[in-house]
Structure 1
């Protein structure tokens, strides 16, 4: 890991402070200001020594060790913009990214972490999110992060060490969790899945909270009695799918009015009911129920399967999720 000069570190500190002010102005962590300190202290640029920015002629690689001072300045300033950063590409396909900081802040607040909680992160990425968790909890051993790609988990481990954090970094299939370090009080996923792996629920303690992207929403579940249930948060979330899991395709949209096809709330319902409802059937439900937002949907994970429902688990609008 490179050691950056004082000018770069000074610029990074100023850019980091500006990012914190920007997120602060949105009121993201008003309920849990402890996260403000974490974002103010953890240096994001150490976790993105290079990244890619899409342009008219493909991706531009920004690199912290560029011999060009102007290029290094673009790199460090970009590292603290409130945008996701592409960090790994393969044949033009995005494999890994550093999520948008304000979205990360919203997710961490929604996770409702308490002192002493044991946290499992699915999708190590750059290691930045694990560093924020370790900073918040003040004990590296309380945080575990897992990624299926050895290159990603190893680079996350290096980035974390460079920033002074040493949580457990595991190479493995995130859908299986990390049973050897269970039980967990909180599980957070930073990659999209079509449903909630049963292994996560099994590795949680009573009253644990799981926060995970499903379809294009953020699902918050509470674990009780070996089952889990909860609702989606109102805002959307778009993540790289968990490797080995393809994002669902909503099927033929030809029978759906063009305006609905472009509405992300309808797209959310269509993806959530993929394989159960046709796009036309999903559209009919969406119109009949008043074009519901994400927060009206919930998920139940039980021993008999996983179910997504609208408004009420015992209501008329209940569909199975794929497992």
Structure 2
């Protein structure tokens, strides 16, 4: 499959099988073998014809059409490592990537896709995630993926076609959804947001699920109606490229200056600081975190009610609640 020689295709098949075994051993899709089948079938290397590897002096490119046979082998093996791949840079800044496959697997399992579901993916990226969804559903027409940048959307479309899939690929602001393709049963974002776009709720069927990165976590919401949704964070840490457009989040670091050394590098305090950046002083956040027993991500949740949205610890009614934008 694709424009590569037989040796490359054989190497890719072996590397893909090894990646599937690695994710299998990690337990990412335990009880959900349908996703194992999808990862085994969809060739990731077709979605990353080139990518960038960080090193001394900056990034260097690996690409599948290198005249050097060994370089091509490095490219295809790298395409099937369980790691995120930098796929697009602008002025030295990462603007698009292919997520870590095991994290993608955990997110897709958590999304709870059922046969016949209509799914919206926000952040087309390389198109790989949309291909996994299309394979799982067995119907390309049930999948819609959107990206703000026309070049990224067009590249994803080409990659999907090369892999034999033709979902709807839309250029637009993901925070606004895709109303002409609604209603959706599931929405998954593969980019970091600062809040929950209200347009998503309006484009969901009652009972629909939304999975989106927020702060440094993954928020799983259940939609009650066009104005109400609620859910908790998954245990998994997640770091994504920010959404561009409405609802995007700044890439500034989490403020930790002045915090005690014993806590400033703790992942769960960093999560709380990112989650309450606009509402809670870092020192107050640290005191709360220690007082409440260093709460893990799954103790936090988000409620959306009309124009209001808030994040909470343990109970949506408080006492610990903070507003979201």
Structure-2-length-normalised TM-score? 0.97
Q: Note if contact 2:2-2:163 (Cα within 8 Å) is conserved in structure 1.
A: no
Instruction: Note if 1:312 corresponds to 2:318.
Output: no
TM alignment of 1:1-323, pairs within 5 A = 3-226=3-226, 227-244=228-245, 245-247=248-250, 249=252, 252-322=255-325
SS at 2:201's partner residue?
helix
Contact persistence 1:249–1:274 (CA under 8 A): no
Moved over 2 A (4+): 244-255
8 Å CA contact 1:297, 1:308 repeated in 2: yes
The secondary structure found in structure 2 opposite 1:35 is: helix
What displacement does 1:275 show?
1.2
CA 1:251–1:72 in 2, change beyond 3 Å: closer, same or farther? closer
Residue 2 of structure 1: CA displacement? Answer: 6.3
- 1:215 shift after superposition: 0.2
Deviates more, 1:201-210 or 1:252-261: 252-261
CA shift for structure 1 position 259: 2.6
- SS of residue paired to 1:146: strand
- Report the Cα distance in structure 1 between the residues aligned to 2:129 and 2:259, rounded to whole angstroms: 39
Q: CA 1:118/1:276 → structure 2, altered by over 3 Å: closer, same or farther?
A: same
Q: Take 1:252 and 1:209, find their aligned partners in 2: how far apart are those partners?
A: 32
- CA apart distance, 1:249: 4.4
Q: Would the alpha carbon gap of residues 256 and 48 (structure 1) be closer, same or farther in structure 2, given more than 3 Å must change?
A: same
User: What is the alpha-carbon distance in structure 2 between the residues aligned to residue 172 and residue 151 of structure 1?
Assistant: 12
Q: Give RMSD over aligned pairs.
A: 1.3
Matched residue of 2:222: which SS? strand
SS of the residue corresponding to residue 313 of structure 1 reads: coil
For the 8 Å contact 2:184–2:208, the answer to whether it is kept is: yes
Q: Unmatched 5+ residue regions in structure 2?
A: none
Q: CA deviation at 1:254?
A: 2.8
CA–CA separation in structure 1 for the residues paired with 2:256 and 2:103: 29
* Alpha carbons 2:20, 2:40 under 8 Å: kept: yes
Deviation at 1:151, TM superposition (A): 0.5
Q: 1:294 to 1:252 in 2, by over 3 A?
A: closer
Separation in structure 1 between the aligned mates of residue 278 and residue 135 of structure 2, nearest angstrom: 42
Q: Does the 8 Å contact 1:213/1:239 carry over to 2?
A: yes
Q: Distance in 2 between matches of 1:136 and 1:236?
A: 25
| CA distance, structure 2, for counterparts of residue 171 and residue 151 of structure 1 | 9
Listed as ranges, the gaps of 5+ residues in structure 1 are: none
Partner of 1:194, secondary structure, is coil
Tell me how far apart the structure 1 counterparts of residues 271 and 123 of structure 2 sit (CA, whole Å): 22
- Normalised to the residue count of structure 1, the TM-score between the two structures is 0.97
| 1:79–1:248 Cα change, 3 Å | closer
CA distance in 2, matches of 1:253, 1:16: 40
CA drift of 1:61 comes to: 0.2
SS at structure 2 position matched to 1:83: coil
Q: Deviation of residue 31 (structure 1)?
A: 1.8
Q: Is the 8 A contact 2:148 2:174 kept in 1?
A: yes
C-alpha distance in structure 2 between counterparts of 1:239 and 1:225, whole Å = 28
